[in-house]
Amino acid sequence: MAPRIETYDVVVIGAGPVGLLVSVCLSRWGYKIKHIDNRPVPTATGRADGIQPRTLELLQNLGLKRKIMAYDPARVHEVAFWDPAPGGKIVRTGTYPSCPSFIDARYPFTALLHQGLIERVMIDDLAKTDTHIERPATITRFETNNADPNYPVEVDLKNLDSNVTTTYRAKYLFSGEGARSFVREQLKVQIRHKDPISYVWGVMDGVLRTNFPDIKMKCTIHSEHGSIMVIPRENNMVRLYIQIASSTDPDFNPRKTATVEEVQHAAQKIFQPYTCDWDKVEWYSVYPIGQGLADKYTLDHRVFMGGDVCHTHSPKAGQGMNTAFHDAVNFAWKIHHVESGLASRSILETYESERRAVAEMLLDFDNKYAALFSKTQSGATGEEAEKANQAFVDLFKANCEFTSGFGVAYAPNIFNYSPEQSLPSLPSAIKSLIISQDKHKLRPGRVMPNSNVTRVVDANTVHLENEIPFNGSFRLFVYGGSSSSPRHGQHPLLSSLSDNLLKAGSFYSRYMHKNQQHLDTHHDSNNPHSPFFSVALTICAKRPEIEIEELPELFQAYRDRVYADDLSSPLVPNAKYASHAKVGLIPEDKGEDAEGAVVVVRPDGHLAIAVKLTEGPETVQALEAYFSQFLKHGDWDGKSGSSRDFHSKQTDTRLGGGAAYVRSLL
């Protein structure tokens, strides 16, 4: 008898940032993951190090930020620009915030910590769900052959210690192999180079003894002797990036390298008149980089790729790991929604369309940034060099929003509402309730604006946008508006919303736990009714004025997710209800009249659609039309996904038990 082939929900290749975060998300939601990496040990030093403001928010939402910050990363708040000065010296010509105040970021800095420590936090998290990374192991073959329709992908993995190759079957294969990818090669997916120019970079992490005043800041230094980028790091360390070669050099050699001593000597010359001696070098690497973008992120919606497999660029803007993280979460929640029976398979198309467009923007920016850095690299002085330096600074400033991660705006699609493209057959009376993205801060595809509110149950000041964790659910942020009093029986808008959402057949009630009456969801603040929807209610009132028992039925189940909009914000100083104003529900951010709305936020924190509250069924009708674009029709029986033989694992209900949790309850 042929040996039984082991089956998995997802096989993940590569334990870098993208692979690890895919595994973390899906393991938490109860999926069975086979995860391998070809290196015998996790990253010990070096490689990527910059965590951008938006990624910090995401990590906070995932419950991982605190563990990363416990390593005490350097925090970059400002960038200093240094340029050549007479006598072969350098002079600071300006500074600029790394995340300027016009970007409404909760954490307006870049945290710098080596990739290995960040990976360690995720590896520890995986251990909690019993997912382990097999090392050293590699992939030697894969095909989507449908030999088992429930596990259509066949994968051969070879343990590099024992040389034993084992065949597995999976629902999906995810390649997070980094820039050199076996999977991408086998699929014959082309990498298009944005620019034929490629670069060789030297990167050195260590402890510097110097009197250079900005050694704890991020700096770009252009001097007569060349250019360097300085990045502060944890434990008094500094990273220096130095461009060793560019294909625009007349004698370009992609294999050109430089020794540690050569880079140190070059740095000493560039830092003049400041001293520059090394107490310790922790990591040094020379690596060639081209600006490449994969044509496809998947061919069959079974084998997917993400992270550096799909996009490579220079390290200067600190984007590689960040882009990888956002690829991972975008992939994970969509797979979860398909496999748990919520959404149709067609949603998987949006992984490539959304994430490839972001990578394309990144490459455009990086292309210009790298070219200008190279121009200023030559050590030239004079008017032309000054112009190039200025252009470099201008480009940096103009792209702060994008590099912080807040500039990402997913284009209209089934998830991101657009008045022109979405829901064409919706009656205009209902469509008019959908908040127009031109006038409002609620722009579908962008990140939900942040705000502070007071949690009613415990009077704590909390970050509203982070209250619902990354639990795979759509988040329905309900803003009560100023016409709905918190007093008993005086909230017709909220009553109507509650009644219509709980009505049999609504999108909300169709996906409720089937044996709701037998479930003890008293302590489940996020998913008391359904694994796919979480609700948070913000009311225009002082906290002591709100009694949870007086709220309509729906909100009583979310007792820990009811908030008072009673805190001021310097960004909307004239608004009585700052949280409503920050999402544009108070005209001109002034006065006391706030509109009520349901703001639907995707599991990854990007805005989906916002609909005004009405006293009738229209609000829920508009939401119904939105969700009907991708929800599976008919009653959800908790088993209607393709995962009939779902692997049940212990999951953390605080993070939304996800499919396995729900199935275990059915």
Ligand X SMILES: Cc1cc2nc3c(=O)[nH]c(=O)nc-3n(C[C@H](O)[C@H](O)[C@H](O)COP(=O)(O)OP(=O)(O)OC[C@H]3O[C@@H](n4cnc5c(N)ncnc54)[C@H](O)[C@@H]3O)c2cc1C
Interacting residues with ligand X (CB under 6 A): 13-19, 36-39, 47-48, 115, 138-139, 176-178, 182, 203, 285, 287, 307-308, 315, 318, 320-321, 324
CA atoms within 13 A on the CB side of 46: 15
Give the 3-state secondary structure of residue 212. Answer: coil
Least distance between ligand X and beta carbon 309 (Å): 6
Mutual angle of helices 320-339 and 53-61, in 10-degree steps: 40
Least distance between ligand X and beta carbon 337 (Å): 23
Helix (H) or strand (E) segment spanning residue 228: strand 226-232
Q: Residue 326 or 663: which CB sits closer to ligand X? A: 326
Q: Which of 193, 228, 197 is nearest to 214 (CA)?
A: 228
> What spatial distance separates the first Cα and last Cα of the chain, rounded to whole Å?
35
- CA 472 – CA 333 distance, rounded (Å): 6
Q: Residue 315 or 641: which CB sits closer to ligand X? A: 315
Q: Residue 327 or 566: which CB sits closer to ligand X? A: 327
Q: Which of 406, 400, 414, 497 is nearest to 448 (CA)?
A: 406
The answer to whether residues 470 and 655 touch, using CB atoms and an 8 Å cutoff, is yes
Q: Residue 321 or 551: which CB sits closer to ligand X? A: 321
Least distance between ligand X and beta carbon 562 (Å): 39
Least distance between ligand X and beta carbon 19 (Å): 6
Least distance between ligand X and beta carbon 260 (Å): 15
The answer to whether residues 307 and 176 touch, using CB atoms and an 8 Å cutoff, is yes
Q: Residue 220 or 579: which CB sits closer to ligand X? A: 220
Least distance between ligand X and beta carbon 85 (Å): 28
Burial classification of residue 91, based on how many CB atoms lie within 10 Å of its CB (0-12 exposed, 13-18 middle, 19 or more buried)? exposed
Q: Residue 310 or 448: which CB sits closer to ligand X? A: 310
Q: Residue 152 or 318: which CB sits closer to ligand X? A: 318
Angle at 12 between CA 133 and CA 304, to 5 degrees: 165
- How far, in Å, are 130, 308, 571, 605 from residue 577 at the CA level? 45, 43, 12, 22
Q: Which of 662, 657, 660, 661 is nearest to 647 (CA)?
A: 660
Q: Residue 159 or 432: which CB sits closer to ligand X? A: 159
Q: Residue 133 or 423: which CB sits closer to ligand X? A: 133
Least distance between ligand X and beta carbon 152 (Å): 21
The answer to whether residues 607 and 442 touch, using CB atoms and an 8 Å cutoff, is yes
With b for 16 or more beta-carbon neighbours within 10 A and e for fewer, the 431-452 pattern comes to bebbbebeeebbbbbbbbbbbb
Least distance between ligand X and beta carbon 320 (Å): 2
Q: Residue 284 or 661: which CB sits closer to ligand X? A: 284
- State both tokens at 78: 């400002």
The alpha carbon dihedral of 141, 147, 150, 152 has a sign of positive
Least distance between ligand X and beta carbon 621 (Å): 42
- CA 241 – CA 254 distance, rounded (Å): 17
Least distance between ligand X and beta carbon 201 (Å): 7
Q: Residue 365 or 555: which CB sits closer to ligand X? A: 365
Residues 6+ apart with CB under 8 A from 219: 79, 80, 81, 82, 229, 230
Q: Residue 99 or 231: which CB sits closer to ligand X? A: 231
Q: DSSP letter string over 520-544?
A: --TT-SS-SS-SSEEEEEEESS-GG
Helix (H) or strand (E) segment spanning residue 153: strand 153-159
Q: Which of 478, 414, 408 is nearest to 443 (CA)?
A: 408
Least distance between ligand X and beta carbon 297 (Å): 12
- CA 394 – CA 96 distance, rounded (Å): 10
Least distance between ligand X and beta carbon 37 (Å): 4
Least distance between ligand X and beta carbon 606 (Å): 21
Q: Residue 37 or 595: which CB sits closer to ligand X? A: 37
